[in-house]
C-alpha cells in the first residue's frame, strides 16, 4: 500500500501536500516520494527514492508552483527513482497529465497477462513508459517481450492519457481506464485540460476529502489533514469525479469490474470494538491492523479494509485515545531508512 495527499484551493499546494504526506507516510509508504503541481499551463514534478523529508531536502519540491497538487509516498516494492510516483503522461517533452495511485492487483492478479498485452499496444501506439526497466521482479507488473517491466501505474497513466486524447474528460478517462485495467486501487490526476480541479477514481482503496475556507484537502487518511479541515468524508467506492476548491462531483461507474463490500454502521461498530481491544493490549502497525479487520467483511471481490481501518484510527484519535509511535526501518538502499508508524491506545 501507499499514501496519497492532494490540495486544490487558494494557497500554495506544495507545502500543504508535503506536510500531509509527511504525517501519513509511516502508515503505508515512506520508501519513495514525489509530488506534482500545476500552474500556468505547466505541470511541475519532483520524485525520488526515500521519504518525504529527503524529497524536501534534496529536491526543489517545496518550490513547485501552483495552488493545485498531488503527492505520493510509496511502499517498498521494487525499482529505483523512476518507480516513484507521480507518473507523467507526456507529449513530446511536455507533461499533459500527472497521476498517482495507491493499491495493488489484489483480486485481479490473474489478469496481469492482459495488462502486459495492453502495455505493449500502448507502446506500439507511441506512448512511452519512463518506468520501463530491467531487473525488477515481474510477477506483479506488466512485462514486455524483451523482459523489461513497467510499473502498473505508469501503464495506467498512459492509458488515461490515451482516453483524454480520444476526447474524454479526466473523470471519464479514469473510469474507462480503471474498468479496462482494474486493480484494487484509488488514483488522483492532474490534467492541463482541467486546471481547476483534481480528478479521482476509486475502486476500493481509501481516499478521504475535507474542506477548509481556502480549499479542499485529499488524503489516504483523515489523520493527515491539517487542523482547519472540516469533517472528512470517504469518497464513494466504484466512482470517479472531480474535486474543486469548494465542492466535488462524483459519478458511479457504469459497470464496476468487481463487487465492492460496503462499509455500514454495524461493520464500523464491530471494527471499532476489535481494534480498540487489540490496541489496548499491544501496539500494531497499519498492515497488521488491516489483517485483523479484513475478516469482518462479508464475501466480496474487493474489500475496503484500509479505508475502514483508517476510519477507526481517526475515531480513536478524535476521542484522544490514539497513541502513535514512529520507528525507523530499513529503506530501499543501505543508505536510506524509512518511517513506520505503530499505534496503540
| pLDDT tens string 47-58 | 999 999 999 999
- Mean pLDDT value across residues 302-325: 97
Instruction: Please tell me the distance from the alpha carbon of residue 317 to that of residue 27, in angstroms, as a whole number.
Output: 15
> Is the pLDDT confidence value at 270 over 90?
yes
Instruction: Evaluate whether 84 touches 74 at the Cβ level (below 8 Å).
Output: yes
User: pLDDT tier at 136 (50, 70, 90 boundaries)?
Assistant: confident
Average pLDDT over all residues of the chain: 96
- Supply the pLDDT for residue 258: 87
> Is the pLDDT confidence value at 220 over 80?
yes
- Supply the pLDDT for residue 226: 98
Instruction: Please tell me the distance from the alpha carbon of residue 304 to that of residue 291, in angstroms, as a whole number.
Output: 12
- Does the CA dihedral 164-128-85-114 come out positive or negative? positive
- Mean pLDDT value across residues 208-219: 98
Q: Detail the DSSP E strand segments found in the chain.
A: 3-9, 32-39, 42-49, 68-74, 87-91, 94-104, 184-191, 198-202, 208-212, 215-219, 233-234, 239-243, 248-252, 284-285, 323-330, 337-344
pLDDT digits (tens, 9 = 90+) for 46-85: 999 999 999 999 999 999 999 999 999 999 988 899 999 9
- Supply the pLDDT for residue 62: 97
User: pLDDT tier at 44 (50, 70, 90 boundaries)?
Assistant: very high
- Mean pLDDT value across residues 288-312: 94
- Mean pLDDT value across residues 147-162: 96
Structural domains in the chain, sorted by start: 3-252 (3.60.20.10), 265-344 (1.10.10.10)
- Mean pLDDT value across residues 279-300: 95
- Supply the pLDDT for residue 27: 98
**C-alpha to C-alpha distances, 92 to 123, 126, 127, 128, 324, nearest whole angstrom:** 15, 11, 10, 10, 45
Coil, helix or strand at residue 293: helix
Whole-number percent of the chain with pLDDT over 70: 99
> Is the pLDDT confidence value at 187 over 80?
yes
User: pLDDT tier at 282 (50, 70, 90 boundaries)?
Assistant: very high
Coil, helix or strand at residue 270: helix
> Is the pLDDT confidence value at 166 over 80?
yes
- Supply the pLDDT for residue 138: 62
pTM score of the predicted model: 0.97
Amino acid at each position: 500500500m501507499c499514501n496519497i495527499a492532494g490540495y486544490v484551493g487558494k494557497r500554495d499546494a506544495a507545502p500543504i501536500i508535503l506536510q500531509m504526506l509527511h504525517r501519513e507516510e509511516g502508515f503505508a509508504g515512506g520508501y519513495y516520494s514525489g509530488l506534482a503541481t500545476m500552474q500556468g499551463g505547466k505541470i511541475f514534478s519532483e520524485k525520488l527514492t526515500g521519504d518525504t523529508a529527503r524529497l524536501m531536502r534534496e529536491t526543489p519540491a517545496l518550490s513547485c508552483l501552483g495552488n493545485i497538487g498531488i503527492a505520493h509516498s510509496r511502499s517498498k516494492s521494487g525499482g529505483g527513482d523512476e518507480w516513484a510516483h507521480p507518473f507523467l503522461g507526456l507529449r513530446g517533452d511536455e507533461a499533459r497529465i500527472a497521476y498517482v495511485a495507491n493499491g495493488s492487483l489484489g483480486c485481479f492478479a490473474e489478469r496481469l497477462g492482459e495488462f502486459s498485452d495492453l502495455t505493449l499496444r500502448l507502446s506500439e501506439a507511441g506512448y512511452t513508459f519512463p518506468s520501463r526497466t530491467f531487473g525488477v521482479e515481474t510477477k506483479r507488473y506488466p512485462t514486455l517481450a524483451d523482459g523489461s517491466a513497467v510499473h502498473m501505474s505508469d501503464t495506467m497513466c498512459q492509458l488515461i492519457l490515451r482516453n483524454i486524447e480520444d476526447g474524454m474528460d479526466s473523470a471519464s478517462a479514469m473510469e474507462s481506464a480503471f474498468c479496462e485495467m482494474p486493480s484494487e486501487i484509488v488514483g488522483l490526476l492532474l490534467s492541463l485540460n482541467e486546471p481547476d480541479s483534481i480528478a479521482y477514481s476509486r475502486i476500493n482503496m481509501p481516499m478521504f476529502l475535507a474542506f477548509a475556507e481556502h480549499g479542499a484537502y485529499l488524503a489516504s487518511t483523515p489523520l493527515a489533514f491539517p487542523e482547519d479541515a472540516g469533517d472528512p468524508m470517504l469518497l464513494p467506492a466504484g466512482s470517479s469525479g472531480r474535486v474543486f476548491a469548494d465542492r466535488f462531483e462524483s459519478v458511479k461507474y457504469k459497470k464496476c469490474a468487481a463487487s465492492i463490500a460496503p462499509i455500514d454502521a454495524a461493520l464500523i461498530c464491530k471494527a471499532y470494538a476489535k481494534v480498540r481491544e487489540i490496541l489496548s493490549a499491544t501496539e500494531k502497525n497499519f498492515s497488521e491492523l488491516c489483517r485483523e479487520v479484513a475478516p469482518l467483511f462479508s464475501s466480496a471481490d474487493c474489500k475496503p479494509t484500509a479505508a475502514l481501518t483508517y476510519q477507526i484510527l481517526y475515531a480513536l484519535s478524535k476521542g484522544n485515545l490514539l497513541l502513535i509511535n514512529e520507528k525507523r526501518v530499513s529503506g530501499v538502499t543501505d543508505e536510506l531508512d524509512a518511517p513506520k508508524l505503530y499505534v496503540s491506545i
